[in-house]
Amino acid sequence: MRNLIAIILFLSFIIPQPTMAEQKRYIEYTIKKGDTLWDISGLKLKDPFFWPKIWKENPGIRNPDLIYPGQKLRIPLELLQKQVVLPPSRPSTVPARTRPEKKVIEGREALVVKPELIVSSGYIADRIEPVGFIKATPTGRTMVGTMDDVYLQLKDEDQAERFYVIKSLGKVVHPVTKKPLGNIVEITGVVEITGKEAGYTKARVVKSFSEIEVGSPLVQYYDIEPFPLARGTGKGIHGTIVAARNLRLLNGRYDVVYIDRGLTDGVKVGTTFTVLSSEKPRRPIGEIQVISARQNTAVALVTRSEKEIVRGDTF
């Protein structure tokens, strides 16, 4: 017995023990009411498009759209460390006094819109005309993400190599006129054809913006380049916010909303509108800027908000 204890003690000294850094590679975040993985990623990682990385580290969350107040999230320290920016070092010597220069007030730099923002923001479509569907997966799973393989059923086998995967979030009815405006289309990812297998066209998910389900429709892929969002005036154009991305009820800065005015009304990418509250007193509560436009509707980014912006607010 003494020999066994001696051996255990000896091994405890020669086998390296995990350090505190190795034992705790995550921080814990408690989900609050109204949180989404998109919001949490933007808050903690300074980039909302990192939300799939947080989802991946939390296997207990089956559906990223279904998270609840009080749930605990693990956020990898590795991702947080990538966001640390060191301040510039101060000069070691005191600079000589110089004659004060005149201050020049420069205009605000235009926001550079990333392709991911345009794609993940979705749009309102009069009708959906898919070129194919995700038929199945090699593993039998019904929900997939980045780097997973899928089987496609295409209407034309000689089409392009890449497709957007979409999902309809339902019909939009105008909050004032009650007229149907179309369907909110969410782009959930991008698939790329890799070959043939089991009688199907095989493809791989190269990008995912939310969960991708078997049965999802496919539409033609098109490239989007980053572009500066120059400000433009929406003078003389008035309309209504008819919905928001992910059907959010309360929206603030950097959230995405849909409006009932488009190209035929003179709306262009960059057009800026002042948002008025739908409740009395009808005062200015924020600002939105158009990031993409279709014939009769447009998608806008909330650039400023003094209170929550909701469906039915006007501009």
The amino acid at residue 270 is G
Same domain, 192 and 245: no
User: Picking from 81-90, 127-136, 156-165, 178-187, which range would have the lowest pLDDT averaged per residue?
Assistant: 81-90
Q: Smallest Cα–Cα separation from 189: which of 216, 157, 161, 224?
A: 216
pLDDT of residue 85: 43
Q: Compare 290 and 158 and report the one with higher pLDDT.
A: 290
CA distance 30 to 267: 41
Answer whether residue 109 is part of any domain: no
Q: Are 126 and 51 contained in the same domain? A: no
Residue 198 has pLDDT above 70, yes or no: yes
In our burial notation (b when 16+ CB lie closer than 10 A, e otherwise), range 58-86 reads: beebeebeebeeeeebebbeebeeeeeee
In a domain, 154, yes or no: yes
Confirm if 310 and 251 have CB atoms less than 8 A apart.
Answer: yes
pLDDT at 24: 54
Q: Are 28 and 120 in the same domain?
A: no
User: What per-residue confidence (pLDDT) applies to 40?
Assistant: 87
The strand pairing partners of 219, in sequence order, are 164
Local confidence band at 286 (pLDDT 50, 70, 90 cut-offs): very high
Q: Which of 155, 188, 220 marks a domain boundary?
A: 220
> Tokens standing for 50?
């990192």
Q: Please check whether residues 235 and 216 belong to one and the same domain.
A: no
138 and 210 fall within a common domain: yes
- Domain with 12 in it: what CATH number? 3.10.350.10
Binning pLDDT at 50, 70 and 90, where does residue 15 land?
Answer: very low
Buried b (16+ CB within 10 A) or exposed e, 110-144: ebebeeebbbbbbbbbeeeeebbbbbbbeeeeeeb
pLDDT confidence tier of residue 3, bands split at 50, 70 and 90: low
Kindly state whether residue 102 falls inside one of the protein's structural domains.
no
Q: Which of 52-56, 209-213, 306-310 has the lowest mean pLDDT?
A: 52-56
CA-based R_g, the chain, Å: 25
> How is residue 251 written in tokens?
């929206």
304 has a pLDDT exceeding 50: yes
CA distance between the termini of the chain: 82
CA dihedral 253, 256, 257, 263 (to 10 degrees): 120
Residues 6+ positions from 269 with CB-CB distance below 8 Å: 227, 229, 290, 291, 292, 293
Most confident of 43-57, 128-142, 146-160, 223-237: 128-142
pLDDT confidence of residue 93: 46
* Same structural domain, 211 and 249: no
The answer to whether 151 and 201 have CB atoms below 8 angstroms apart is yes
Domain that holds residue 272: 230-305
Place of tokens 């007030």: 105
pLDDT-based confidence at 295, cuts 50/70/90?
very high
C-beta separation of 312 from 278 below 8 A: yes
Is 134 part of any domain?
A: yes
- What share of the chain has pLDDT > 70, as a percent? 82
- Residues 264, 201: one domain? no
* pLDDT at position 109 over 80: no
Domain match, 45 and 19 both = yes
Q: How many domains does the chain have?
A: 3
DSSP label at 240?
B
pLDDT by residue (tens digit) across 156-168?
Answer: 877 789 999 999 9
pLDDT of residue 67: 85
Instruction: Say if 33 falls within a structural domain.
Output: yes
pLDDT of residue 204: 97
Give 228-256 pLDDT, tens digit per residue: 777 788 889 999 999 998 888 889 888 99
Domain limit, last residue, from 201, 220, 239: 220
Q: Are residues 126 and 154 in the same domain?
A: yes
* Sheet with 271-276: strands ordered across: 232-233, 271-276, 284-293, 298-305, 256-259, 241-244
CA distance readout (Å), 247 to 116, 147, 238, 283: 19, 27, 22, 24
Domain boundary, last residue among 80, 99, 133: 80
Instruction: Give the domain CATH number at 252.
Output: 2.40.10
The verdict on 183 and 238 lying in the same domain is: no
